[in-house]
Amino acid sequence: MLYFDHNATTPPAPAVLAAMLPVFSDVWANPSSQHAPGQAAKRTLGAARTTVARALGCKPAEVIFTSGATESNHLAVRGLRDAAPVGRRRVVFGSVEHAGHLKLARALSDAGTPVSYLPVHADGTLDLRAAGELIGPDVALVSLMAANNETGVCMPVAEVAALAHAAGAPLHVDATQLIGKLPFDFARFGADAVSLSAHKFHGPKGVGALLLRQGVPWAPQTRGSQERARRGGTENLPGIVGLAAALDALGSASAMVAEAERLAALRDALERGLAQALPALHVWSQHAPRLPGTSYLRIGDLQAEVVLNRLERLGIAASSGAACSSGGSEPSHVLSAMGVPRDDALCAVRLSLGRTTTAQDVDFVVAMLPPLLMACSPFSPPPEP
């Protein structure tokens, strides 16, 4: 199987498994216990926290371990909203946030919280002028993603931080797709709270963190004594050790830049090669600032499921931009926000490259996919078998 779905999740790195296994077998005591095994677990937790803080450019006390980005996003938004001064009630979300995060936005709105959405341009980049108009003195917080999981488009975090801070509001950033793909430094990032998930950068699933700048008013949501009383519940120590090991394995900032350049070159070769063989190819956000390994495309009017079926036959795992549920498909909300017509959006296929992707993998897709698709010319779905 050739894996072209690194934005969905990534395979755990060998160093991550090696770091986690002894924690399962040997360091299983509760870090809150006073006895010797508990204290050993507490030291392991502290060491992992220090590693995470060093890798992400924050203080150890600014790290809150969670079950992943979904929980971090909820904690950030509800925690910052609940701590906002009286008179600041409105929450501003990006319009192309992760689907789970937009569900939170809808839930807040249904419960009476005023909610606004930051629009994007046709190429998926943020409309900063509109952001300037929407972020005002009644805002409790702004919540924006750093990079989009479908298009890969990177958002202007520093500019939005300046707008939020000028309005007296904190900024939360969902950096789930950015961290691990490009160098990241919390101290210079501009956001007050940042979400991340370990499995997006070769760590384990079900563990992540919320980085919360010291001194930012925030109200805990899950009560308990752990994580300095900011997130209750016995810590997922093997997962946290795996998260730390995954960050460690990413290497230095310059090593990450080199990997990003390698991936961007592979992604460009993939898009160039497919475009040569398939003139009907359209790549969304191709000229916008985007993540190095993300390619979001449609091939004429070929439905996503047809392309994915051909990819599957070639042993290639990729994904569509549509949310499929019980037989029906809804076009991607990201493409809808970019003004893409429904019929085009239902043709969206995402190929996301990562550390395990090689030039041979890309050559294979470029050589094998077009002939299979030409066989279903004139680009209409084949009859049912």
Which of 120, 145, 334, 335 is in the footprint of ligand PMP by CB under 6 A? 145
Which residues within the stretch 254-293 sit at the binding site for ligand PMP (CB under 6 A)? none
Q: Which stretch binds ligand PMP (CB under 6 A): 65-73, 241-249, 254-262, 321-329?
A: 65-73
Residue 68 binds to ligand PMP (criterion: CB under 6 A): yes
Q: Which stretch binds ligand PMP (CB under 6 A): 66-74, 111-119, 184-192, 278-286?
A: 66-74
The kind and range of the H/E element at 166 are helix 157-166
Q: How far apart are CA 191 and CA 123, in angstroms?
A: 24
Residue 69 binds to ligand PMP (criterion: CB under 6 A): yes
Site mask for ligand PMP (CB under 6 A), range 166-205, x = bound? --------x-xx-------------------x-x------
Quote the least distance from Cβ 292 to ligand PMP, whole Å.
Answer: 16
* Count of residues that bind ligand PMP according to CB under 6 A: 12
Quote the least distance from Cβ 384 to ligand PMP, whole Å.
Answer: 32
Contact between residue 194 and residue 210 where contact means Cβ atoms under 8 Å apart:
yes
Which of 70, 285, 295, 332 is in the footprint of ligand PMP by CB under 6 A? 70
Q: Which stretch binds ligand PMP (CB under 6 A): 62-70, 270-278, 287-295, 362-370?
A: 62-70
Which of 149, 151, 285, 320 is in the footprint of ligand PMP by CB under 6 A? 149
Contact between residue 61 and residue 55 where contact means Cβ atoms under 8 Å apart:
no
The CA–CA distances, whole Å, from 360 to 181, 198, 256, 315 equal 21, 27, 21, 14
Q: How far apart are CA 76 and CA 196, in angstroms?
A: 12
Name which of 23 and 96 has its Cβ closer to ligand PMP.
96
Q: Which stretch binds ligand PMP (CB under 6 A): 68-76, 157-165, 276-284, 304-312?
A: 68-76
Site mask for ligand PMP (CB under 6 A), range 232-251, x = bound? --------------------
Name which of 135 and 173 has its Cβ closer to ligand PMP.
173
The CA–CA distances, whole Å, from 10 to 6, 197, 257, 313, 354 equal 5, 11, 19, 21, 8
Contact between residue 208 and residue 56 where contact means Cβ atoms under 8 Å apart:
no
Name which of 49 and 181 has its Cβ closer to ligand PMP.
181
Name which of 98 and 355 has its Cβ closer to ligand PMP.
98
Is the preceding omega at residue 238 within 30 degrees of 0, hence cis?
A: no
Name which of 68 and 370 has its Cβ closer to ligand PMP.
68
Residue 197 DSSP SS3: strand
Active site positions, annotated: 324
Q: How far apart are CA 347 and CA 331, in angstroms?
A: 9
Residue 352 binds to ligand PMP (criterion: CB under 6 A): no
Tell me the one-letter amino acid at 25: S
Quote the least distance from Cβ 198 to ligand PMP, whole Å.
Answer: 8
Beta bridge partners of 194: 173, 211
CA atoms 19, 22, 25, 29: torsion sign: negative
Quote the least distance from Cβ 276 to ligand PMP, whole Å.
Answer: 31
233 — alpha (psi -120 to 50), left (phi > 0) or beta? left
Quote the least distance from Cβ 228 to ligand PMP, whole Å.
Answer: 22
Quote the least distance from Cβ 186 to ligand PMP, whole Å.
Answer: 17
Planar angle of CA 115, 116, 117, nearest 5 degrees: 130
Number of H helices, E strands in the chain: 14, 15
Q: How far apart are CA 250 and CA 125, in angstroms?
A: 27
Q: Are strands 208-212 and 193-197 parallel, antiparallel or unpaired?
A: antiparallel
Tell me the one-letter amino acid at 187: A
Name which of 176 and 303 has its Cβ closer to ligand PMP.
176
Residues at the site binding ligand PMP, with contacts judged by CB under 6 A: 68-70, 98, 100, 145, 149, 174, 176-177, 197, 199
